[in-house]
Structure 1
Amino acid sequence: MRVLIRLTLAAATCSTLLGAAPAPAPTAVAPYTEGHQFVRLSPPVKTSPREVTEVFWYNCAHSYQLEQPLEEWAARQDPPVVIRRIPAAWPDQPVMMAYARLYYTLDKLGVAQREALPVFHAVRDEGMDLTTEDAVVDWATGEGLDPAAVRTAYESQQVQDETRDAPALREKYRTSEMPSVIVGGTFRTSPFMNPEGVDGTVPVVDYLYRHAGGAPSR
């Protein structure tokens, strides 16, 4: 019940209309404190201090708003940061499981990042339901993808296994908010922890990335 209530709250918050201004350029130092703008995972997830992980949902307005600013931040780093994506999914939420399957299908085809904004646009702006195989294939065909390749990927054992494991992967990072960003497997932040919402998230990620030792020494 506790997870469901949190999920419902997060989903309701995700229904906020789009249109927020782009996130401001992050600064190297900011007065962010543990327990307020970010939390520490206990125990941490064993991973590289350079790893930045985002838990997201294609039908979440905040995930949509964060997509481009987070990618632009990642591209500005030296060397660039590759964001690891985890689709937010609960085993008793079939719609979220379906969108996890869509993500892993695109990932198997090597186009998940390229098609991220088009998927968000289709789902959030155009109200498309991409929770069935036929709907995914039709949409992907319109995006110029080979429909046979999309169907093969969608039905593959790899994608089915990754979709099945998505809830456990999300739970590993102990998050029920979408989007959430985890830095170095140790620190987690989200728009729900910042007074500025999505606009305040990227500066906190930048601060945590440096604080966690992810950024190379100058």
Structure 2
Amino acid sequence: MLRRILLAACLAIPALSFASAEHPEEGTDYTVLKTPVQTQNPKKIEVISFFAYTCPHCYTYEKTLEPWAEKLPEDVEFVRVPVAWSDKYFQYSKAYYALEALNKLHPYHETLFEAVIKQRKDFPTIESIADFLATQGLDRDDFMKAANSFSTKMKNDRAFKTWQAYNIDGTPANAVNGKYVTAPHMVGTREGAIQVMEFLIDKERKAKK
């Protein structure tokens, strides 16, 4: 989903590496937060992916981001944070954390993404998501129990506070170690955004030393 930001038209074409991604500039390719956000694990460099299941650019970006995230070194912790701009979309973030609690993000995270973006399915309630995922082989009762759990509520509340603390106003977007925000629309390409994250991760790694 887009909020106030319109993504650059180049996101609709194959990603290219722009010069700015190779030599990132503060204020253009990334921003520095005036007030750093506390990370979940201070011992590691935290990378956050802010996304929404209703965002077609997030779905496309995931294809580039996921293979990169799977190969991150041990000192980097990758975290997804679902963004719900209003109560109308809150069921999607509940679904994400329910799948996480059940250790079923693979394959159902992608399954839900594809249903919303490619198949244009509408899920107005968490129950409707549960019904759909049940047709894909997921136990409906287990899913609903996880979705309505206190743990999921706490994670949902934390997700809301997190994207607000980072002042996220459009998806997809990324944050690095509580200090920096970057996004494909800032850099110009999906691959370029990953290059900027690598630059910021290295910057934080050097700072820790």
Short-chain TM bin: 0.7 to 0.9
Judge conservation of contact 2:11–2:184 (CA < 8 Å) in 1: no
Q: Mark the CA change 1:157 to 1:23 in structure 2 (over 3 Å): closer, same or farther.
A: farther
Tell me the CA shift for residue 99 of structure 1.
1.3
- 2:61 aligned residue: 66
- 174, 185, 188: which one aligns with 1:181: 174
- How many residue pairs match? The answer is 204
Q: Give the distance between the partners of 2:195 and 2:78, measured in 1 at CA.
A: 15
Task: Report the TM-score when normalising by structure 2.
Answer: 0.83
Q: Mark the CA change 1:71 to 1:8 in structure 2 (over 3 Å): closer, same or farther.
A: closer
Letter in 1 for 2:181: R
Map Cα deviations across residues 136-156 of structure 1 (whole Å, 9 max, x no partner). 112211222111101111222
Q: Give the distance between the partners of 1:121 and 1:70, measured in 2 at CA.
A: 16
Q: Mark the CA change 1:22 to 1:32 in structure 2 (over 3 Å): closer, same or farther.
A: closer
Q: Give the distance between the partners of 2:82 and 2:164, measured in 1 at CA.
A: 11
Segments of structure 1 that go 5 or more residues without pairing to the other structure are 1-6
Q: Give the distance between the partners of 2:142 and 2:65, measured in 1 at CA.
A: 29
- 2:110 aligned residue: 117
Identity, in percent, stands at 26
- 2:48 aligned residue: 53
Tell me the CA shift for residue 23 of structure 1.
7.0
Map Cα deviations across residues 165-212 of structure 1 (whole Å, 9 max, x no partner). 43222112221121111111111101221123x242111111111122
Q: Mark the CA change 1:60 to 1:209 in structure 2 (over 3 Å): closer, same or farther.
A: same
Aligned to 1:101, the other structure's residue is in SS state helix
Q: Mark the CA change 1:126 to 1:64 in structure 2 (over 3 Å): closer, same or farther.
A: same
Judge conservation of contact 1:38–1:193 (CA < 8 Å) in 2: yes
- 2:122 aligned residue: 129
Letter in 1 for 2:48: T
- 2:34 aligned residue: 42
Q: Give the distance between the partners of 1:106 and 1:166, measured in 2 at CA.
A: 15
Q: Give the distance between the partners of 1:120 and 1:214, measured in 2 at CA.
A: 36
Judge conservation of contact 1:50–1:215 (CA < 8 Å) in 2: no
Judge conservation of contact 2:108–2:133 (CA < 8 Å) in 1: no
Q: Mark the CA change 1:130 to 1:214 in structure 2 (over 3 Å): closer, same or farther.
A: farther
Q: Give the distance between the partners of 2:22 and 2:152, measured in 1 at CA.
A: 40
Segments of structure 2 that go 5 or more residues without pairing to the other structure are none
- 1:3 aligned residue: none
Q: Give the distance between the partners of 2:168 and 2:58, measured in 1 at CA.
A: 14
Q: Give the distance between the partners of 2:108 and 2:30, measured in 1 at CA.
A: 29
Task: Report the TM-score when normalising by structure 1.
Answer: 0.80
Q: Give the distance between the partners of 1:130 and 1:18, measured in 2 at CA.
A: 26
- 86, 98, 109: which one aligns with 2:81: 86
Q: Mark the CA change 1:165 to 1:187 in structure 2 (over 3 Å): closer, same or farther.
A: closer
- 184, 191, 196: which one aligns with 2:184: 191
State the Cα RMSD in Å. Answer: 3.0
Map Cα deviations across residues 13-68 of structure 1 (whole Å, 9 max, x no partner). 49x898643676x99x8211100000111211233351101111111112111213
